[in-house]
DNA sequence: CATTCATATGAGTAGTCGCTTATATGATTG
DNA sequence: CAATCATATAAGCGACTACTCATATGAATG
């Protein structure tokens, strides 16, 4: 019995997570939530995105279970279900920094 | 310069990596490379994708440094630059399985 | 060198994504 | 309950993506 990785099952589900994380603004939202739960308005303020846009992204993250809403009066606070993702993101980032991109052969004609 | 980017630096680069990983076929290609370097033809066979399509995906992965080409006669073998990515993918996958997706409120009206 | 094999590139296209401009829901306050 | 605040949804548009077909490059072989 090989690894998940070796026989590649779960690829579809994994790719969907990555698709969510592939949007810079969504990634910023998640990063901002790292510290503590935040209201939508607070996220709007912090990111500089429109309220509509933030709501749009939050819905996608919410439906995937990447963030969890929490009603507090008229406000909705969004939280990370666990902190593990922050560590994962950090691992990924430090690994990504080690990647050597090949030369981009630009011809001076 | 008040920025979230200071908090979440590297977000742009990270999101680009995730975008590459967000395509199921690319993820499968990477998985297949986990064990050993493979020729393009071998990847085509293994994935069932068209040769053109595989070449297209390989270019993106190559340009990002996620795979490395290695000429062997008329063949080009593609390899992972390091095995770390396999561990990262596996970490991500097992974390993803713990995510609880919210109810999708279907009204039977 | 001409042909064949292995891979790469380019043009075109259907579908998806992210964002914007309205508008709706639902809670709070007077 | 009317008005306002906080958030969510809907429709539409431009940009991007993944794929296909056609073709190009470059190595191996006769």
Q: Which of A5-9, A73-77, A80-84 bottoms out in mean pLDDT, i.e. has the lowest?
A: A5-9
* pLDDT for A82: 92
* pLDDT for B7: 59
- Name the token pair of B26: 């690319």
Q: Does B5 score more than 80 pLDDT?
A: no
CATH code of the region A8-96? 1.10.10.10
* pLDDT for B8: 75
* pLDDT for B15: 97
> Between β-strands B38-39 and A68-72, what pairing exists: parallel, antiparallel or unpaired?
unpaired
Average pLDDT, integer, range B51-67: 97
pLDDT band at A7 (very low <50, low <70, confident <90, very high): low
Q: Does A65 score more than 80 pLDDT?
A: yes
Which nucleotide's C1' is closest to A51 (Cα)? D7
Question: What confidence tens digit (pLDDT) does each residue in A10-19 have?
Answer: 899 999 999 9
* pLDDT for A6: 42
* CB A47, CB A28: distance < 8 Å: yes
Q: Using DSSP, state whether A85 is helix, strand or coil.
A: helix
Q: Could you identify the residue whose CA is nearest to the C1' atom of nucleotide D27?
A: B74
* pLDDT for A61: 98
Question: What confidence tens digit (pLDDT) does each residue in A36-46 have?
Answer: 999 999 999 99
CA atoms within a 13 Å half-sphere pointing along the CA-CB vector of B92: 27
Fold classification of B24-95 is Arc Repressor Mutant, subunit A (1.10.10)
Q: Does B79 score more than 80 pLDDT?
A: yes
Interface of B with A in 13-42 (CB under 8 A): 13-19, 21-24, 27-28, 31-32, 34-35
For chain B, say whether A99 makes contact (Cβ under 8 Å): yes
Average pLDDT, integer, range B22-31: 96
- Return mean pLDDT, chain B: 88
Q: Could you identify the residue whose CA is nearest to the C1' atom of nucleotide D18?
A: B53
For chain A, say whether B61 makes contact (Cβ under 8 Å): no
For chain B, say whether A105 makes contact (Cβ under 8 Å): no
Residues in A closer than 8 angstroms to B99, CB to CB, are 64-66, 81
Q: Does B25 score more than 50 pLDDT?
A: yes
Question: What confidence tens digit (pLDDT) does each residue in B31-50 have?
Answer: 999 889 999 999 999 999 99
Q: Does A5 score more than 70 pLDDT?
A: no
Q: Does A91 score more than 60 pLDDT?
A: yes
pLDDT band at B4 (very low <50, low <70, confident <90, very high): very low
DSSP result, B25-75: HHHHHHHHHTTS-EEHHHHHHHH---HHHHHHHHHHHHHTTSSEEEEETTE
Q: Which residues touch strand C (CB under 7 A)?
A: A 19, 22-23, 25-26, 49-50, 52-53, 56-57, 60, 73-74; B 39-41, 44, 51-52, 54-56, 58-59, 69, 74-77
3-class SS letters over A13-74 = HHHHHHHHHCCHHHHHHHHHHCCCCEEHHHHHHHHCCCHHHHHHHHHHHHHCCCCEEEEECC
Average pLDDT, integer, range B2-19: 76
Q: Does B105 score more than 60 pLDDT?
A: no
Residue the block writes with tokens 């090949």: A102
First to last CA, chain B: 51
């Amino acid at each position: 019995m090989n690894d998940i990785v070796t026989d590649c099952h779960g690829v579809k589900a994994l790719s969907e997570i990555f698709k969510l994380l592939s949007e810079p603004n969504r990634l910023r939202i998640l990063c901002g939530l790292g510290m503590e739960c935040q209201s939508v308005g607070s996220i709007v303020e912090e990111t500089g995105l429109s309220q509509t846009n933030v709501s749009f992204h939050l819905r996608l993250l919410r439906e995937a279970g990447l963030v969890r809403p929490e009603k507090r009066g008229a406000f909705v606070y969004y939280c990370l279900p666990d902190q593990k993702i922050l560590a994962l993101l950090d691992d990924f980032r430090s690994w990504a920094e080690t990647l050597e991109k090949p030369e981009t052969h630009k011809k001076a004609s």
